[in-house]
Amino acid sequence: MKKRIVVFTGAGVSADSGISTFRDSDGLWANYRIEDVCTPEALKNNRAQVIEFYNMRRKESLTKRPNAGHIAIAQMEQWADVCVITQNVDNLHEQAGSTNIVHLHGELMKLRSEVNPELVYDINEGWEQGLDDRGEDGELLRPHIVFFGEDVPMFDIASRIVEQADILIVVGTSLVVYPAAALVYFVRDKQVPIYLVDPGTPDISKISNPLKHIKERGAIGVPQLVEQLRAELECEE
């Protein structure tokens, strides 16, 4: 039986593809405060600015490609039962070939009704959302993004997936943004190994499972780890 490997990714896995985050001092986020573009209040009070910001993010994202970290994660599906749980709103995991992905914080290339969150639409062509675009319910559309201060509707599903993991891999996340960071504590068996790939110092103080911290960027550390795991699992067969 294939091992169930859950990969939990944050902004660091996409950094080597050139996608900046709100913590970076450059890129799109450098010109905006989070409060002005990524909160329900911002959407209500300055809809035009929020729509413009996410249009620019989409336009920028079309120039980005998966890096070696994304590709290595996708290739694990050849020999393991893999689920990717990502905090990222880009579609680089999809581009790399991963087929089982849970987006905790939404998807940049989708829109949804402001009133009915079940009405979600792909942006099939281009990158631009019109200011007055509406869904089939007649309501204005908004970016399909979980704004700061909003509930994370996919969290319960993600936590149940983590509970079933034989191996948990955490890549490129500070483990300080909740509730997402709490996922590492849902591993049911305390003997399940956790592998952390991040060049920084994520908060691992409360992790009691066997832990190996690979202090590398995702594009370097993930391929190394994947090859190591593949070899180890082959030896177990």
pLDDT at 7: 98
Give the closest residue to 107 by CA, choosing from 74, 67, 153, 166: 153
Nearest Cα neighbor of 107 from 84, 90, 85, 131 is 90
Q: What's the distance, CA 107 to chain centroid?
A: 9
Query: Taking residues 222-233, what's their average pLDDT?
Result: 95
The model's pLDDT over 96-112, given as tens digits with 9 standing for 90+, comes to 999 999 999 999 999 99
Strand order in the sheet with 120-122: 120-122, 106-113, 141-145
Confidence at residue 32, expressed as pLDDT on a 0 to 100 scale:
78
Active site residues: 105
Does residue 169 sit in helix, strand or coil?
strand
Which has the minimum average pLDDT: 83-87, 106-110, 169-173, 203-207? 203-207
Q: How confident is the model at residue 129 (pLDDT cuts 50, 70, 90)?
A: very high
Cα distances (Å, whole numbers) of residue 105 to 90, 147, 180: 10, 8, 9
Sorted by sequence, the CB contacts under 8 Å of residue 29 that are 6+ apart come out as 20, 21, 22, 23
Domains and CATH numbers, the chain: 1-18+66-105+152-237 (3.40.50.1220), 20-63+108-145 (3.30.1600.10)
pLDDT at position 23:
57
